Amino acid sequence: MFTGYVKSVSPAVDQMSRTIKVEVALGNTGLKLRPGMYGRAEVLLARHHKAVVVPSAAVLEAGGFPKAFVVSGGKAQAREVRVAAQAGDLSMVESGLAFGDTVIVAGQYTVVDGAPVEIVGGK
């Protein structure tokens, strides 16, 4: 793995491949990189050290408002959430959930607010 920084980004998107040319400056200790090589890159846009991140499947759309269910006092509690970002199968929740909340990630499509909940297979 190599670490570098983005030097320039093309303003045009290739319509066929849906890609953008990006020039990245990398250290090449050991001369492992050669001209003409290509690879995959992951660009870190920002770090969120205290972000609440949940599986995207835990966030449901209901009436146009995203919500998630948590367990509170042995019962399901619906919470309106605000998703700040989504990457793959994870969502960063900006509001509505807090660290330590027990988020329902299985059966969330059939649970109703106030229903008794039994936690199985979790912490």
The Cα 25–Cα 77 span in angstroms is 49
CATH of domain 52-103: 2.40.420.20
Q: What percent of the chain has pLDDT over 90?
A: 43
What pTM does this model have?
A: 0.63
Strand partners, 72: 75
Average pLDDT over residues 70-82: 95
- The CA-based angle 104-109-58, given to 5 degrees, is 40
- Burial class from Cβ neighbours inside 10 Å (0-12, 13-18, 19+) for residue 83 reads middle
Taking residues 48-52, report their average pLDDT.
83
What digits encode the pLDDT tens for the residues 91-111?
999 999 999 999 999 988 889
Segment 21-37 shows an average pLDDT of: 87
pLDDT for the residue numbered 123 = 59
